[in-house]
Every structure is written in structure tokens, then in C-alpha cells.
Structure 1
């Protein structure tokens, strides 16, 4: 069963009515909602993993636990440990010219937050922003992906069972429902998905002047520096690329590496992929591509690149033709000899293809990154601190991991978000609390103060006081 535009409006109104009745939930109320979410995840762990597995055709339970359940629970527990402190007003003395007045920043819930959830990590990318919205004291309404229908239906059912209708609501349905959802007058809207769809979401939100956080994607590079621990770099790049079969917004999209190491990368990657995913054609720990449409899109990127002159190096020890043996099972492929005219170097891959782009010096690699839209993530493998600092200073990316991949997303003390074409705004941890809060500025005037000295009529006394203000600023 999917939701109509009328259903969505009614649900939003119910949430808004509840928010108006309790505009500033205290900490016990917020903590109770977070613990309800935690309990739901623990109780439904098996069922959620099974539903995601069924939607994908094959999604390893281990990956769902590691990449979705663990960070979801960790986010809840971090919020429970720090949320009370985040709520406290931040007080200080006013500027020198206004003493003895005081100021404060008072965090206040925005109201009702809308969250549009993608299909690639449907549990974590629902729960992560939901945690931030709840710890900030908001109500929330989620639109689940139609491309993971079993999980979406189960998640909606469990939220309805565990939460009051005025706390959290979940909508399901197709692209038309998503379009109607993004046009609702939320107090904040968070969208995770493609850059192309992000344009439509932002356009719809603009009609209501709804502020948006856009978590998009793009082509995230992995740079192997001249001083990298090479085998380690290859292993960590493959790990980041092949979990969830590359269907990760911050997966390494291509590798920049010294020209002399291209052949060595292929050799090392072949051995490492065979070790990580033995018997790829029947290995249940390697994910399937989520849909026939996505499978055809990724296979077309591979085939078009080969037709244009690239060389495809299939990894793993699966027999020839294994990509057709199991439904939507696509083996990892390295692509060498690529150039920017190929679609695989223009579009976000979002699958187990990994182009290798050689460079002759590190400045050339930096120039390549900066000549393209800012990526959501950047990965650098290097031991020389001066070179690391050079790359960090001269590139702009949503987030960076040094000598590994993916794990900057799991740090509660770091915001997660994009820049430019890869997104706007951020969340996670205290940053998420602030994203979904209004930091209300409050100026408290002291009973005895000197502001009356600046009242009209403007005579000699006024000019003396103004002169002092202009000198001391």
C-alpha cells in the first residue's frame, strides 16, 4: 500500500499539531524516543536484514550488520550520551560596548523534518538522520525507497507499531509519492540520492522556502601517492569499492596512481579480490545489484568503455560468464586505458567497476581532481605528511579518509556532507543536532545599562559616546 498526496498532507498535519502542543520536548522525552528506536532495531535485526537481502537478491547479512545496523545503533548511543549537553543554551557576556548585558544561543527544534531515504543503505540512511532529528526535539516523516519494497514496508510497519503517530511517520510509494513528499512544507528536508534527483528535490522545496540538506554523490577519487604502502592501499580501496557491490555513495569511483604501478595494481587486486570473495559466482558474502535496471546501467558503462578502447580486467576467481550465472551478480572489473570521453569517467558508477587513471607526478593527480566537480569523498594513501597536507590544501571534497576508505562517515565528531555538486549541508552527531535545530540568539539587557546615553536628541554627549564606540569597535 502506498501513500497519496492527501495521505501525506494529513500525516504532516498530525505531526505539526503534535509539535505545536509540545514545541520544546525535554531531554527525557527525546531520550525515550531514541531508546524506542534502539529497541526496534534490536528486536527487528533479523527481519530487517532478511528484507534487505530479499530486496537486493543477495545482500550479505554481515554487511547489513556492519554497515547499517552498527552505525545506526552507534549513532543512537552517541546521541543518548551527548544530547542533554547539546540542548543546553550557550551563554556568554555581550560585546564590550554592551556590558553588562549577556547573550545566549538557545537550541530550539525546527518542527517537522522530512527525510527522503535512498535504496542502497535503506536502514542506516533512514535511521541516521532520524536520530539527529529526534535528538534535536523534532517530529519526523520519512519517505522510503520504492526500490527496496520489502524493507520499506517492514520499516513503516515497525515505526507505526513503536512510535506515536505524532512522533514519527513513514511513507512508501513510487516517484510520484516522492515528488509530492518533497513538495510538502517541512521545516527542513534532507535528501540522500543522486545529483540529478537532487535538483528536483531542491526545486520543489524552494516553493515553500524549505531549507534542504542534500547528500548527493559524484565521482570520489582514491589517490595512491608515491610514498603509499602499496599493497595496503590496494586492499583498502577494494574493500571500499566492493562492499555492497560498489553501491555506496562514498565508494572510491576511480583510482589515481603512479603510471609505473598500474600493472602492479591489477596483479595485486586480482589476488586480493580472490582472497576477499572466493568463488565469486556462488559467494553469498558478495552483494547483488539491486535491480535489473541498475545492472544493465553498470554493465553498459563497462561495455561502452571497452568498445571505446579501455581494457577490462575481471577480478576474483569466478569462471567466465559468472556475471550472468546468478541474478544481478556482477563481478568486479578494473578498467585501464580510460579517458574522460567515456561515460564511465563522466557518470557516478555506483557499482563494482573501478577505472585506473595513471599520473606522472602528484601535482598532475591533484590537478585532475580539481578540474572536476567536487567529490563527496576523497581517499589518499600516502605516508609523507607534507604531501598529505598538499593534497588536503589543494583539493575540496565533502570528506576525506587518509590511508583507508569509507570510515570518515562513521565518526560522530565529524560532519558528513558534500560540497558543490556532491551536496550541501551536513549531519551526524552534534552537527546533525545543529542542522535540525534553530540556534535562537537571545540578548539579555541588564537592569542598569548605558544605552540611554545614545538616545536622541543627538548632542555633544551623544557625539562623545559615538566617538568612543567608533574607536573601540
Structure 2
């Protein structure tokens, strides 16, 4: 009872703080609605210095939250892309900020048309637990580059990282520029109900719907980075070692706790055993043991671990064949939350692994007889966040690109499209809406303000009333045809 009262009191404090910070950021934005290039670059430099100076603390915090998180995975997927994203934004920001000149029809000359990129104001960023640093810093870089102020709601499932990030941002920025909010789901709900000028959410499709519903009450524009079941197609002639090696990397990285992790494989029926054998071989060479291997990440918490175990039990009960890749044959069911990658064969549509986004080290493998059949299977389902195609025939690559839809795509690789600074990242349909990263991030957090300008000479008088003059008739004859 006492702990419940404490939690309620803490939640009330967090909610109260959200209101205070939001009011302060709104007031600060009104005083400085168009930060200069120098101000924005200085903010980005400060953020970069903080990340570089606190790498070890961040690595330790994330490791603690997962109980075992590969430090190299954190460097590769969190710190490195965060720093590179800052570098890219600083290099290109001057060009992004320049007004864009647009065409003016002769009908309206002399005049000018421009699009100016204005900061939107106060933006909200909601961060998930799977990449708690990168998915906070990435949107923050875009928001600061566009000249905004930002409030960041960290995940309650990464308490060490969330508390550290809050501390670091408080030491780096004034609260009315960047502020970090902690708290449980009720705090997150209050956060999303605020009338932000833009709201970016990364998380599940089901929660994304709730976020969008809350934002709609304030007509707040949203960017939703959701998940979905991202398929991988293996062609009939790609060397199996190439496909299996890259898929093993993509699935085992962060043990599948990645929104763009390959969710299931479509494999030619006559190549199924070849894929299984090569996948096991490649994964075993990367992770010869799991239990005491700091390269192999654990499942984030017991709730997620039990969810994934439930998927395997459900599949097995419904007739699936499970192939566990556990090279050393270790016993992992003693609280370690280390979970081997498990291939699931002979799936049926009623299995949970074929209905829900897996978000863990489980990989269903389905078979197909023709590429058209594989494409049809994908197109019959909600549009995924990512799609992977393995095959070197340029004509077939083009066919898959043109005949499928997904948020993003890799050809002969997995995950790596997310790390490209000059490619937009985002979903489509059930996997989200809107984009960020690079220039698209700057544009997402900017208002594209159209400005039509003329000076003393006014050619528009030619169409003023009274109508029906010879000039009107000439204008109609010239421009309505």
C-alpha cells in the first residue's frame, strides 16, 4: 500500500513537471522563434560533446538495463549513429535552412515565391526501450537542427539509461530548451495529451494508435515510427552463405529487439534445408556460446522474455518444428534472460508468431514456389517497416522494389538502411507515418511556410472588378487553355 502511494505521488510530480516545462519552453520559443545557424550548430556541438565525454557511463547504464547488452552493439547502433547524425546535420544545416525559391507564373509577375523553413516550436519525443539512446538522440538532433525546443519522455523499462540521460541533458541544456521526463505509462499518457507543435513516437502499432488519438485532440501533427512484420525474401539463386550470414547478423543483433529486424523469411521450398544449415553455421560462428558471452544480448525484462517463450510454446502446440541455435548446448532457463535464436518451420496462420511482431530471437521460415507467390504473400498483409531481398539479378531486384511496399528496404543486407544519414527513415500504413534522419528530419520538424511577395508594381489589377473588359478576356484566352 505504501509503495502504491509513493508511485502515485511520483507520477503526480512528473505530471506537474511536464506542465511546468511545457509552459517554460513555449515562453522561451516565443522570445526566440527563429534561432540562428550559429545557435543551432552550437546546440548540436554541445550534444555531441556530452555523448563523447560520457560513452562509458552510457554503455554501463544500457548494459545494466538489459542485464547483458553487448557493448559493441551499443557502440555500433546507438553511440556511433548518434554522433554521425550530429556530424551530418552540422555539415548540411546551412543549406537546409536556406529558403527554397519556387517558380512564379507569368500571370503573377513581377513577384517571387519562396518556401521558408521555420521551427515548429515545442516538440515531444517518446522513446522506446530497445535503443534508448539512439531513439532519443536521433529525433533530438532533427528537432534542434530545425530550431525547436524538445521534451523527451524516456522509457520506464530502461531506468538506468533514462535517469542518466536526464542528468546529462540537464547538465548540457537549459530546461526551457531540452528537457527529459521520466515516469510510468500514466505519465506517458499525460505527455501525449499536451498540445505539442509536433509529436514523434517510436513504439508498437497498438500504442501508436493511442498516441495518434491523443494528439488528434490538439490537432498535433505526429510522426509514428512503428514496427510490423518485416519480411526477408531469399531468391532462387543467391549464394546461400551470403543470405544466411547477413540474416543471422540482422536477427541476432540486439537478439531481434529491433523494429526493423527480419521478422520472417520467405525461402524457396527446394532451398529450405540449405538455409537452415547455413543459418545455423553462420550464427554459431558469430556466437559459439551464449550464456557467458557479453557479445550476446539478453531480453530486456522478464515480461518480454515470457511473451517470447509463450510464442514458442504456442507454435509448438500447433505443430511447428522448432530449431534452436544453441551451439554449446547451454542451459539458459535459469533466470539469465538469454534466449537462443530459434527457427520456426511448418508455421500456420493461427500461430502467434505469424500474427504479432516478434521483436525477439524467433525467426519463422516459410517456403514459396515462385517469386510472384512470395510477393503476393507480402502484399496481402499490412505494410511492414522494412523489407529485405537477397538476390543479385538486377531485374528481379527491380521487380521486388516496384511490386511491394514497405517503409524502407535493403537489397542484399539487413538493418543497414537505418544507418544511412542521407536516407529518410519511416514507415507506411501499419508501420507508421512520416520520416526523419538527415534532411528529412529537419523538414519533419520545420513548418514549410509559403511566401508570395510582390513590390510596388501590381500586375494583379488586371483581374480586378469591374469584370468583362478586354483585358479580362485576353487573360482568359491566354491562361485558360
The aligned residue for residue 31 of structure 1 is: 41
Aligned-pair CA distance for 1:98: 1.1
379, 399, 414: which is aligned to 2:423?
414
TM-score w.r.t. length of structure 1? 0.98
Distance in 1, matches of 2:471 and 2:81, equals 60
Secondary structure of 1:119's counterpart equals: coil
Shift of 1:448: 2.2
CA contact (8 A) 2:240 2:274 kept: no
Q: Which one of the candidate residues 176, 183, 188 is aligned to 2:193?
A: 183
The answer to whether structure 1 residue 167 and structure 2 residue 211 are counterparts is no
**TM-score, normalised via structure 2 length:** 0.96
Higher alpha-carbon deviation: 71-80 or 439-448: 439-448
Structure 1: segments with no counterpart, 5+ residues: none
Counterpart of 2:340? 331
Give how far 1:97 is off.
1.3
CA distance in 2, matches of 1:319, 1:467: 82
* Structure 2: gaps of 5 or more residues: 1-9
Q: How many residues align?
A: 471
Aligned to 1:139: 149
Q: Which residue does the alignment assign to 1:89?
A: 99
Q: Which consecutive segments of 4 or more residues in structure 1 shift more than 6 A?
A: none
Is the contact made by 2:462 and 2:472 (CA closer than 8 Å) also made in structure 1? no
Equivalent position SS for 2:332: helix
Contact 1:453/1:465 (8 A) holds in 2: no
RMSD: 1.2
Separation in 1, partners of 2:306, 2:335 = 14
Using the alignment, how far apart are the partners of 2:335 and 2:327 within structure 1? 15
**1:360 Cα shift?**
0.4
Give yes or no for contact 2:120–2:447 (8 Å, CA) kept in 1: yes
Q: Per-residue displacement from partner, 1:323-378 (whole Å, max 9, x unpaired)?
A: 31452110110011012111100000000000000000100000000000000000
Counterpart of 2:3? none
Q: Which one of the candidate residues 337, 346, 363 is aligned to 1:354?
A: 363
Distance 1:45 1:326 in 2: 28
**In the superposition, relative to structure 1, how do residues 305 and 263 fare at CA in structure 2: closer, same or farther (>3 Å)?**
same
Q: Quick check: 1:344 aligned with 2:353?
A: yes
CA contact (8 A) 1:273 1:316 kept: no
Partner of 2:22: 12
Q: Secondary structure at the match of 1:108?
A: strand
Partner SS, residue 363 of structure 2: strand
Instruction: Establish whether residue 285 from structure 1 lines up as the match of residue 295 from structure 2.
Output: yes
CA offset at residue 468 of structure 1? 3.0
Matched, 1:404 2:413: yes
Cα deviation, residue 7, structure 1: 1.2
2:232 to 191, 216, 222: 222
Q: Secondary structure at the match of 1:380?
A: strand
Structure 1 residue 436 corresponds to structure 2 residue 445: yes
Q: Which moved more, 1:88-97 or 1:157-166?
A: 88-97
In 2: Cα distance, 1:39 partner to 1:469 partner = 60
